[in-house]
């Protein structure tokens, strides 16, 4: 072929993903957050082998012991080790933080892409639904769900997913609208790509960075939600331990043993903070609007 | 254009209208033309003349519901496109007719590998598996002259230069060996050397694959170099249509003459230091002047030009022009009473 080009054809540029990871690794605060979460997850997973205390054992003769070498953070009103219960609580809190976020992310992404790409009546209906969800006090909604369906872990998932999808859908929709006008979408249509394939193969991969960021930022929200619901008594039920529940139960003995309520509170604080750091780091690393 | 034995595309009386918030716009207004097998037909005009909209209308890509396309007939190699539904059109797109867009930098999805996208028409229309698609894309990459084609299969679009991306787009357009390829300003975004390479590539591929090409451009140089026939568009209408040699020899519409005169020439010495151009602007399609749409900018304007719209009349040898200057000479369809000057 006579038309072999001689111009420099490859622009040396690392791949998008590698670039993103490198940018994230440069962010110290985000790395600290990540380290904290990794340690927390590992400890929560292996807590039965790490701690020799039984989180459910009642020992009334050991009520409200002060911190000691055996009980690092002391004991609660039933003589149970506070630290062990917090770490068992981390299992539920982390699960509740990630799973419902994932569910609302999937629902929100699907509806957001559909809404933005198809437009018209579909868009109007989905977005009005989302507006309703956002306008309604979400804590109240979650409480109603928990109250009617019963307080258990599965229903917490349902309640949180129901509350969370709307804001995801909104963000994804606006992103889809921007993508829809891009030439590669028109090029895909010119190839005879169906609408469904266009949404799945062309729009969705472009929304993934946004979804990652939304996910990491919605985990702390979900943890807070679960804590609130448990605190209010419609979430996780004793003797299970979740952080919100620990705070709720601990507050009754705030004057006798403040650490029982404060320690799980600090756990919530640190975890939420760590996830927020990670989320900010991811957003800075992946958000295309931060580049160029 | 009847001298070609085989017509691949025959467009007749294509109209594309937009009903927007501010009213009614006819972006394409009664466009008819034919494309012979293996021929390259140019559509030339200023921005806003409706040339891209003509292409999108043929492809069935005009945004709905704002845009409405009607045509007496759009015949693609024996298939009447106007009678196909949205789904039928989708099956024709990419298989029998394909399109190359203006911006190679944005017409590939940034997060998908090049081979997946270039091979997408095969997945859609031929149901090939990914190994077959890769093999075919590799063949196409070799055909369009992408150096190191094997290594480029797994590249992401941002790893390719503009010229390479446009080659990839052309490979994508031709991968199903369509009967018709519509190239919408395929070289506008490229630098001049790359431009020449891409144009030469398209000519070569036309000869090898036998695909007919509609070349949309605002560059008369490209038309002269590439095309067999030309359609000059102005304000949504074809104002001149003819064989490329004939049209450059005897530009018959004042607009075409103006376009030809505005090509800067190094051989001429300009004393006033200005580039020649057609005075005025393309009219707002919502407020077209009465009579001939070109009358506010025309140097040869006559009384009748303000009164009635000229027909697209024969000026000899299949060469058509929409101008009153010729309608009298060529005694085309009898003009209105006002034509008697």
Residues B228 and B303 in one domain: no
| Alpha-carbon distances of A265 from A260, B45, B104, rounded to whole Å | 9, 70, 54
Residues B156 and B243 in one domain: no
Query: Do B243 and B187 fall within a single domain?
Result: no
Residue B282 is assigned to a structural domain of this protein: no
CB-nearest partner of B112 from A3, A120, A205: A205
Mark which of B234, B251, B282 sits at the end of a domain.
B234
Residue B127 belongs to domain with CATH number:
3.40.50.300
Please indicate, yes or no, whether residues B210 and B242 belong to a single structural domain of this protein.
no
Q: Which of B218, B234, B250 is the last residue of a domain?
A: B234
- Selecting from A13, A184, A191 the residue whose C-beta is nearest the C-beta of B159 gives A13
Are the beta carbons of A2 and B200 separated by less than 8 Å? yes
How many residues comprise chain A? Answer: 292
On whether residue B2 sits in a domain, the answer given is no
Residue with tokens 């609580």: A89
Residue B284 forms part of a structural domain: no
Token pair 């055909």 is found at B143
Contact A190, B59 (CB under 8 A): yes
* pLDDT score of A16: 64
Distance CA A218, CA A211 (A): 10
What proportion of chain A, given as a percentage, has pLDDT over 70? Answer: 92
B189 and B246, same structural domain? no
Instruction: Give ipTM to 2 decimals.
Output: 0.80
Q: Are residues B207 and B255 in the same domain?
A: no
| d(C-alpha B203, C-alpha B252), whole Å | 27
Inter-chain CB proximity A4 and B106 less than 8 Å: no
Question: Which residue of B lies nearest to A9 if distances are taken between CA atoms?
Answer: B161
Q: What are phi and psi of B180, to 5 degrees?
A: -135, 135
Residue A13: both structure tokens together: 């540029």
Q: Which of B143, B119, B149 is nearest to B206 (CA)?
A: B143
- Pair (B296, B197) in one structural domain: no
Condensed to tens digits (0 to 9), the pLDDT of residues B196-219 reads 888 998 898 888 888 999 999 988
**Is residue B205 domain-resident?**
yes
In a shared domain, residues B251 and B196: no
* Model pTM score: 0.78
Q: How far apart are CA B107 and CA A182, in angstroms?
A: 7
Which one of B90, B103, B112 has the shortest CB-CB distance to A192?
A: B90
Nearest one of B330, B185, B182, B184 to B253, comparing CA atoms = B330
List of chain B residues with pLDDT < 70? 1-5, 21-22, 268-273, 327-341
Total domain count, chain B: 2
Q: Is residue B14 domain-shared with residue B81, that is, in the same domain?
A: yes
B:3-22 residues touching chain A, CB 8 A cutoff: none
Return d(Cα B244, Cα B230) in angstroms, integer.
6
- Does residue B33 lie in a domain region? yes
Q: Is residue B252 part of a domain?
A: yes
Residue in this structure with the two tokens 């254009």, named with its chain if needed: B1
**pLDDT of amino acid A145:** 83
Partners of residue B29 on adjacent β-strands: B15
Residues B230, B97: one domain? yes
Residues of A in contact with B147 (CB under 8 A): 4-5, 9
Q: What are the pLDDT digits (tens) for B274-326?
A: 777 888 888 888 888 888 999 888 888 888 888 888 988 888 888 999 998 88
Residue where the block lists tokens 């000869």: B207
Considering B195, B214, B234, which residue would you say is the last residue of a domain?
Answer: B234
From chain A residues 240-279, the ones with a CB under 8 A of any chain B CB are none
> Per this entry, what is the length of chain B?
341
Q: Residues A2-18: pLDDT tens digits?
A: 444 444 444 444 456 67
Angle between helices B162-174 and B130-143 (to 10 degrees): 120
What are the counts of helices (DSSP H) followed by strands (DSSP E) for chain A? 11, 0
| A289–B contact, CB cutoff 8 A | no
Q: Is the pLDDT of residue A87 over 50?
A: yes
* Same domain (yes/no): B184, B255: no
B279: in domain: no
Structural domains in chain A plus CATH codes: 37-45+72-290 (1.10.3720.10)
Q: Tell me which chain B residues have a C-beta less than 8 angstroms from the C-beta of A192.
A: 90-95, 121, 124-125
In the stretch 35-74 of chain B, residues with CB closer than 8 A to chain A read 59, 61, 65
Q: Which two tokens stand for residue A23?
A: 């940018």
- Cβ atoms of residues B125 and B132 within 8 Å: no
Indicate if B75 and B112 belong to the same structural domain: yes
C-alpha span between A56 and A66 (Å, rounded): 19
Establish if B157 belongs to a structural domain. yes
How far apart, in whole angstroms, are the C-alpha atoms of residue B169 and residue B187? 12
B233 touches chain A (CB under 8 A): no
Q: How far apart (Å, rounded) are the C-alpha atoms in residues A211 and A16? A: 16
B150 touches chain A (CB under 8 A): no
Domain that holds residue B331: 237-265+290-339
- The one-character DSSP state at B127 is -
């Amino acid at each position: 072929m006579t038309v072999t080009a001689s111009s420099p054809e490859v622009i040396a540029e690392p791949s998008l993903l590698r670039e993103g990871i490198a940018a994230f690794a440069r962010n110290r605060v985000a790395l600290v957050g990540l380290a904290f979460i990794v340690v927390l997850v590992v400890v929560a997973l292996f807590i039965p082998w790490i701690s020799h205390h039984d989180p459910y054992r009642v020992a009334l003769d050991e009520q409200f012991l002060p911190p000691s070498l055996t009980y690092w953070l002391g004991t609660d009103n039933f003589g149970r080790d506070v630290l062990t219960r917090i770490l068992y609580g981390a299992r539920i809190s982390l699960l509740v933080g990630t799973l419902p976020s994932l569910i609302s992310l999937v629902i929100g992404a699907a509806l957001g892409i559909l809404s933005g790409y198809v437009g018209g009546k579909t868009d109007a209906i989905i977005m009005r639904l989302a507006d309703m969800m956002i306008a309604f006090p979400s804590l109240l909604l979650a409480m109603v769900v928990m109250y009617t369906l019963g307080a258990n872990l599965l229903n917490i998932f349902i309640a949180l997913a129901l509350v969370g999808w709307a804001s995801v859908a909104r963000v994804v929709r606006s992103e889809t609208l921007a993508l829809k006008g891009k030439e590669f979408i028109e090029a895909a249509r010119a190839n005879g790509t169906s609408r469904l394939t266009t949404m799945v193969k062309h729009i969705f991969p472009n929304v993934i960075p946004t979804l990652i960021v939304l996910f990491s930022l919605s985990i702390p929200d979900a943890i807070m939600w679960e804590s609130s619901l448990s605190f209010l008594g419609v979430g996780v039920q004793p003797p299970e331990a979740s952080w919100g529940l620990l705070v709720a139960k601990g507050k009754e003995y705030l004057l006798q043993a403040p650490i029982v309520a404060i320690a799980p509170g600090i756990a919530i604080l640190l975890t939420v903070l760590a996830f927020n750091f990670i989320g900010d780091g991811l957003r800075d690393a992946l958000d295309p609007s931060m580049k160029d | 254009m009847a001298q070609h034995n085989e017509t691949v595309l025959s467009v007749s009386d294509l109209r594309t209208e937009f009903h927007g918030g501010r009213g009614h716009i006819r972006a394409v207004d009664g466009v008819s033309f034919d494309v012979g097998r293996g021929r390259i037909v140019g559509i030339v005009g200023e921005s806003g003349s409706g040339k891209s909209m003509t292409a999108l209308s043929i492809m069935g890509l005009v945004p709905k519901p704002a845009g409405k396309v009607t045509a007496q007939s759009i015949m693609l190699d024996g298939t009447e496109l106007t009678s196909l539904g949205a789904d039928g059109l989708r099956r024709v797109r990419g298989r029998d007719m394909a399109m190359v867009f203006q911006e190679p930098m944005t017409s590939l999805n940034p997060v998908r590998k090049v081979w997946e996208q270039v091979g997408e028409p095969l997945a859609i229309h031929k149901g090939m598996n990914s190994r077959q698609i890769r093999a075919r894309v590799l063949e196409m990459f070799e055909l369009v002259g992408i150096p190191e084609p094997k290594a480029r299969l797994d590249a992401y679009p941002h790893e390719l230069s503009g010229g390479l991306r446009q080659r990839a787009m052309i490979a994508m357009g031709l991968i199903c060996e369509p009967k018709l390829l519509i190239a919408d300003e395929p070289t506008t975004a490229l630098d001049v050397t790359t431009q020449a390479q891409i144009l030469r590539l398209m000519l070569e591929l036309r000869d090898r694959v036998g695909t007919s090409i509609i070349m949309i451009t605002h560059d008369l140089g490209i038309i002269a170099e590439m095309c067999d026939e030309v359609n000059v568009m102005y304000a949504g209408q074809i104002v001149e249509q003819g064989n490329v040699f004939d049209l450059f020899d005897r530009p018959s519409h004042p607009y075409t003459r103006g376009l030809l005169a505005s090509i800067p020439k190094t051989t001429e010495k300009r004393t006033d230091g200005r580039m020649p151009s057609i005075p005025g602007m393309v009219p707002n399609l919502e407020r077209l002047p009465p009579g001939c749409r070109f009358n506010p900018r025309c140097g040869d304007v006559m009384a009748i030009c303000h009164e009635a719209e000229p027909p697209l009349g024969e000026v000899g040898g299949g060469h058509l022009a929409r101008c009153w200057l010729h309608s009298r000479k060529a005694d085309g369809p009898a003009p209105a009473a006002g034509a008697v000057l």
